[in-house]
Amino acid sequence: QQFESLKSVFKGIVGYALDNGNIKLAAGWLIEQCGWKGFRKGDAGCHTKQALVLINYGHAKGSEILSLSEKIITSVKNKFDVVLEREVNII
Q: Is the pLDDT of residue 87 over 90?
A: no
pTM for the predicted model, two decimal places: 0.89
Question: What domains are there in the chain, each with its CATH number?
Answer: 2-80 (3.90.78.10)
Q: Look at 11 and 77; give whichever has higher pLDDT.
A: 77
Reported as a pLDDT band with limits 50, 70 and 90, residue 91 is low
* Cα distances (Å, whole numbers) of residue 79 to 4, 56, 89, 91: 16, 26, 26, 30
What is the Cα–Cα distance from 49 to 83, expressed in whole angstroms? Answer: 22
Identify any residues that bridge with 83 across adjacent strands, giving them in sequence order: none
Taking Cα atoms as reference points, which of 34, 38, 82 lies closest to residue 57?
38
pLDDT tens digits, one per residue of 18-67: 999 999 999 999 999 999 999 999 999 999 999 999 999 999 999 999 99
What is the Cα–Cα distance from 21 to 31, expressed in whole angstroms? Answer: 24
**Predicted pLDDT of residue 89:** 73
